Structure 1
């Protein structure tokens, strides 16, 4: 009888633990941040779970904070945790064009250990909670001229392992992964890496980028044809690779990509054009107006907006409040780990993209 009671008690404990875990499924709102120590105070930081300071770089193989200004910013970000206990401050290595020495520096066990020890030193000094690796990209071409080699793929796995063993179980470890198929297929050993990281931040934006000679959705939720890159396509691929859903974080874009010399066919979508500088979300309302010649369109299949100006033959693509809402609902539906975005300083101080994400996150 005692044995039966013990089994019943254990079963109840397991059941209650499982129920607790399900009720407390973590949905993180993660902001990449390139601003200074003062600008951050203009934003509603209480709605964020992570701020990723962008960026630190490699100096002689070690993680390096570039300037006194950056040091001040990191210290101020850490101080925000006093009012916002759930907030975690992460430092990021690299960024587009910011990881030129990475392939070489991480090519040996000694180099990887040297870096891991430097991350611990920086983290202990600033009292930050974690590191985000933004190496664009292991094993495949990123910025033209940057070294990449086949060995980057296993070296990245070993890098993540040594970081985890050096920094401990409680340290937040994540990396930014390209959301396009070549990166998904060739850059990372997903099964080997996933157990050692807290989350994978899928850069499900720039899927049509500055090198593209044809317009398209740069950050769609869904593909409109079998060859089109999308957020959902990347997520489904990684789930099939065995990456746990709660470790997957999808990306939102707070900026447009634009093309000029785009003919007025299909409202400019999927047409030839020349890429040029886009617009920050905080300026959409004054830029993409009918008075300026712009028309707004919604692709219901992609769950993505776009704009076309027939007068100037220009096309723009991005996320907006409607598409970021759809992405956030997708995170909840798929029980993913959250949503991140590039980047906070492009948002409005109030009633912007972060606010829309937070409203959907907290809705019952």
Structure 2
């Protein structure tokens, strides 16, 4: 890396940034009634929960998750060269990667480099330096990326307005990618304010240029929100510096919702006003080439308490984001709750009757709903699909089999 020399103009810029930051801090809490800060993603919820554990090994996470090694048999096949099948491996999923079908993955991203916004260094990189996940992936020609995550409007403002912290991050990322001979990064900054749009744009351009100067083969990817409430992505400016985008095509409904609904509605309707098609059209209109877009889909559900069984009912209380294997093991296989399907949103759901005439509603993706969305991705020549998160189906093979059916070259 080249050494950074601070000119007088740079110092003026930094002083100006500090003044702007102080001014913005006075007004943020009263001017942001329209932003998406109340939308807390499964990613952020997972990160907040996981930070409460002081674990240093995959074995500790396996113990917490009560993970038992059981060998699964995958269908033979290899992902088609024209399709990007992509997944995120969360460090807290421990050694669940032992059951990944790497042959059906074009790439995966290790989640994550948890950013310390004031300095640019990391709070943790978890097992990035030691995990066998990376070796297993590369042995099957699956590309490996490192996620860089930062959550919350204040954390993003602090970092994006600090050039020194950005330089530290870039240097650190460069070293970590080289250490594991990785292929690039996946940027996941959630809760960015509209006022920080220009800062975000400059940062994306800078980190892309710097890393590609280190290694021209590095790929830079960016997570896009399902709904960009604050219009923070300047696609026209950043597109030349982005190799592919990963749309977080989930959390349309979640812990923040007042009514029940699909985690990933497909089409918009009177009942569900936003959906996957609408999100893709939005970014396409902004200038995202569909061939550069990976559609991330959830391997988890959303469950609420309600007073009525009809979908779209008012929420009494949010319960949880159960993973696919929990939904299968407990609700479907053990409790024998019948799976229902909403055609308009192309989403599966369960209605669970509790005592005292109360209900729980649980929306999730399965082979039926994902099959429809995968076919749509293929018919529209979209770049590929993503999985949040790998290992959420640990012990079950049907979602891997569906990937094979839809995206194998054979």
Output the TM-score relative to the length of structure 1: 0.81
Match of 1:256 among 288, 301, 314: 301
Alignment of 1:7-156 (within 5 A): 26-35=82-91, 38-59=95-116, 61-64=119-122, 66=124, 69-73=127-131, 76-85=132-141, 87-94=142-149, 96=151, 101-139=155-193, 150-156=194-200
Deviation at 1:351, TM superposition (A): 1.9
Deviation at 1:157, TM superposition (A): 1.0
In the alignment, structure 1 residue 237 sits paired with structure 2 residue 292 = no
Distance 1:321 1:65 in 2: 37
In structure 2, do the counterparts of structure 1 residues 222 and 57 end up closer, same or farther at CA, with 3 Å as the change threshold? Answer: same
Report SS of the residue matched to 1:61: coil
Q: Which residue of 2 aligns with 1:357?
A: 403
CA contact (8 A) 1:181 1:229 kept: no
CA contact (8 A) 1:93 1:133 kept: yes
Per-residue CA deviation, residues 65-101 of structure 1 (Å, 9 max, x unaligned), is: 726644212xx2331244212x11111111656x863
Q: Which residue of 1 aligns with 2:206?
A: 162
Q: Which residue of 2 aligns with 1:303?
A: 346
How many corresponding residue pairs?
A: 323
In the alignment, structure 1 residue 199 sits paired with structure 2 residue 244 = yes
In the alignment, structure 1 residue 180 sits paired with structure 2 residue 227 = yes
Moved more, 304-313 or 213-222: 304-313
Report SS of the residue matched to 1:175: strand
Distance 1:271 1:208 in 2: 12
Distance 1:136 1:215 in 2: 23
Distance 2:395 2:406 in 1: 18
In structure 2, do the counterparts of structure 1 residues 304 and 39 end up closer, same or farther at CA, with 3 Å as the change threshold? Answer: closer
Deviation at 1:128, TM superposition (A): 1.3
Deviation at 1:295, TM superposition (A): 3.5
Distance 2:158 2:257 in 1: 29
Distance 2:256 2:98 in 1: 35
Moved over 6 A (4+): none
Q: Which residue of 2 aligns with 1:269?
A: 312
In structure 2, do the counterparts of structure 1 residues 242 and 82 end up closer, same or farther at CA, with 3 Å as the change threshold? Answer: closer
**5+ residue gaps, structure 2:** 1-79
Deviation at 1:106, TM superposition (A): 2.0
Q: Which residue of 2 aligns with 1:292?
A: 335
Distance 2:105 2:171 in 1: 29
CA contact (8 A) 2:209 2:241 kept: no
Distance 1:111 1:67 in 2: 17
Cα RMSD between the aligned structures?
2.5
Per-residue CA deviation, residues 120-159 of structure 1 (Å, 9 max, x unaligned), is: 12211222111111111221xxxxxxxxxx4421111111
Distance 1:154 1:80 in 2: 39
Deviation at 1:180, TM superposition (A): 1.8
Match of 2:385 among 328, 335, 339: 339
Report SS of the residue matched to 1:345: coil
In structure 2, do the counterparts of structure 1 residues 157 and 45 end up closer, same or farther at CA, with 3 Å as the change threshold? Answer: same
Distance 1:297 1:77 in 2: 36
In structure 2, do the counterparts of structure 1 residues 58 and 25 end up closer, same or farther at CA, with 3 Å as the change threshold? Answer: same
CA contact (8 A) 2:99 2:394 kept: no
Deviation at 1:272, TM superposition (A): 3.2
Report SS of the residue matched to 2:130: helix
Q: Which residue of 2 aligns with 1:329?
A: 375
Deviation at 1:115, TM superposition (A): 2.3
Q: Which residue of 2 aligns with 1:19?
A: none
Output the TM-score relative to the length of structure 2: 0.72
Distance 2:126 2:162 in 1: 31
Deviation at 1:332, TM superposition (A): 0.8
